[in-house]
Structure 1
Amino acid sequence: MAQALRVALAGLGTVGGGVIRVLDENRELIARRAGRPIEVVAVSARDRSKDRGVDLSRFAWVDDTAALAEADADVVVELIGGADGPALTLARRALSAGRHVVTANKAMLAHHGLELAAAAEASGAALKFEAAVAGGIPVIKGLREGAAANAIARVYGILNGTCNFILSKMEAEGRDFADVLAEAQALGYAEADPSFDIDGVDAAHKLSILASLAFGTAPAFAQVAASGIRHLLAADIAEAAALGYRVRLVGVAEADGAGLFQRVHAHLVRFDHPLAHVTGATNAVVAEGNFVGRLLFQGAGAGEGPTASAVVADLIDIARGEFGPPFAMPAAALTEAAAAPSGERRGRAYLRFAVADRVGVLAEIAAAMRDAGVSIESLIQRGALADGSVLVAIVTHEGPERCVAAALERLRGSQSLHGEPMWMHLLD
């Protein structure tokens, strides 16, 4: 059998330990599939004394993470995380030295993917990142290779398991957001500071990577309009169900003559749509190709096993010599797409207001909609919320988003409204 592929591993957290376990447990199978053994030869992490449940004594320990780029290894696996700092330094140095890089770092790729892709191509090294989006689901390979012959019209999906877990619990148990978030944190599904997840930033990082692969554009995270689920109420979930929908945080990317449109936003998803049935911490991605049709990728989007599995799959590809341009085409061919405006996008919207319980409030809201050119399909008023305000929910007919934005602007500062309205798009 050929000489082993030597791996230097940076980061020994949940996923790093998982990579070692996968390589140990499936050693013989992986060697047969890769055509040669894959062996970790050096590791680096912040705390050398921490018990990680795997035997690290067989590996060389490197205190300076960046120095792994010069280790006696063929591949550097970066599992540190963070858009900049040690992770970026390590990736730059490794690629400059001609060493292959495998990473699960979606933030680094979203911010610096074009630079790193160009560096990989210049040195003849691989830059692989299957684990950066949707954990163990092979969506990167699916877009980069399986759908390579297709023009992709749209890519969208559920990209954050924490948010989907919270929404599923709210839906199943009728509980409010804050209560379910606390449970998610206790179970380890949400971080102590969950902002990246619940405000849509994590999903936006992943969406920018998917958009690059789908449309041949440079990763453009700064152009992603991201909002999360922080202000969602149990009443919103109930209203959606009454209308035949479920609430999901969905990232959507499309490219057309107007530019590249990217948005992460809470959506109402029809019961008969595949994404409506994605529950718990699961991820799902839909890509629509002009010849292959609709592709659905679904599975575990995070966790030790799925993410480590994706990392090792990339190592197997490298061992076989199977790698090409990181973003499916040479970095120089990736276009710098302008951000497409959302104002003329047409669709239906769900709008929720918490309002004072007094005469004339509904007329004020209806007048704002009328004056902005928004046609109301249905208007529902429910009983008092916990703070004494009344919930009013509106579903609009199809129309341009700029009209809905104008209506909400007309209502800004109204003494009748308690707090900010909730605006969700309908994914039919």
Structure 2
Amino acid sequence: MNWPRLALANLRASPLTSLVNVVLLGLGTASIVLLLLIGEQLSSTLTRDARGIDLVIGAKGSPVQLVLSSVYHADLPTGNIPKAEADRWASDPRVARAVPLSLGDSYRGFRIVGTTPGYAALYDGQLAAGRFWKAPMEAVAGAAAAREARLQEGSHLVGAHGLVGGGHAHAGHPYRVVGVLAPTGTILDRLILTSLDSVWELHEAGHPEDDHDADHDHGHAHGHAHKSDPLPEAEASHDQEADHAHDDAATGDSEGREITALLVRYHSPLAATTLPRQINAESSLQAAAPASEITRLLQLVGLGLDGLRAFAGVLILTAAFSVFAALYGALKARRYDLAMLRCLGATRAEVLLSLLLEGLLLVAAGALLGFALGHGTMEVLGRWMAASRGVSATGWTWLPAEMVLIIGLVTIGLLATLLPAWQAYRTDVARILAG
């Protein structure tokens, strides 16, 4: 006798009940798969975007905000810091490399970052076309920014105050795009890079009073501006990547200039035990370690994901009870049929196997539906995030935790069908036929 075919026939005999069980299992499985994929890829993205950055030095305020704004460009800066004071820490023997950042302007939602070519090097950024800037008001566009804003070598763009669209535009001072970066799969793809000289020249060009008012209003929007100047835009005078090996020595006077943050790479791991504490205690600046803030952020996100996973687990358990109820009810209705199978030569083990197969087929169908929904949804979300947020995510990946999930689903399916199958195994043929 073909027991798998018989099991399928029994499931088709109650199509609505079977469909409900499969859908419940599928939704619970899809939810867990999606949460696993989101959690893993979020963690990978945060780690990838912070690589090569051991410490962020910026204005006093929230360390999480400092890291989010300077490393992930996902928040407003905490304010400005004097470039001269930043230079002091950049030249510390414990610092191997320091990359300055000036934030405050954007173009069509893409942040314009005043920095040095060393910033692109943090992400192994390579030019796909053109060159890096050699003069003020020259810019290099990240791959996603160039694609979505239709920028190419020779294009011109006008920056606007603020880190989202709608700010006051510097119409009289356009940037000229001189290079486009190749895709890196990091935050670099969604940025427009220029020199610190460009930022300083732009904001010291003798703007009309309405420019000054816009600057002032924007600075207040930050809520954490440096006390000497409310502007979030870093107003400083020269490109500098402070490297302890003096690869990019500072040129020019930095007195009175400001930047937004300094991205630091340690000379040795031992610096992590002394440098941040010293900066926080002995200066007006703040030092935040991206690794620590990432861990804290992921813990906060993890609490939410744990709650959603618990809800998905409830769905799966509900489906398991539903499978149990359906099979147990079917057993009661098919007692005579099972007795006839025994009379036709079926053994107790074969009858038990028939019931187990029904439960496992339901679980297999629910699991297939769930994994297809989970990975499909992640792929759709990944494409949307790549296009709108520059975040690299995909559904075409497999996590070790998913194998654990499969084992768990099979176990739940076996447990849900075990009692009905055991009842079928213990069927008293003579008593049923006599009744």
Q: Under TM normalisation by the shorter chain, which class is it?
A: under 0.3
* Bigger-Rg structure (1/2): 2
Question: Normalization by structure 2: what TM-score?
Answer: 0.20
Structure scoring higher RCO (CA < 8 A, sep ≥ 6) equals 2
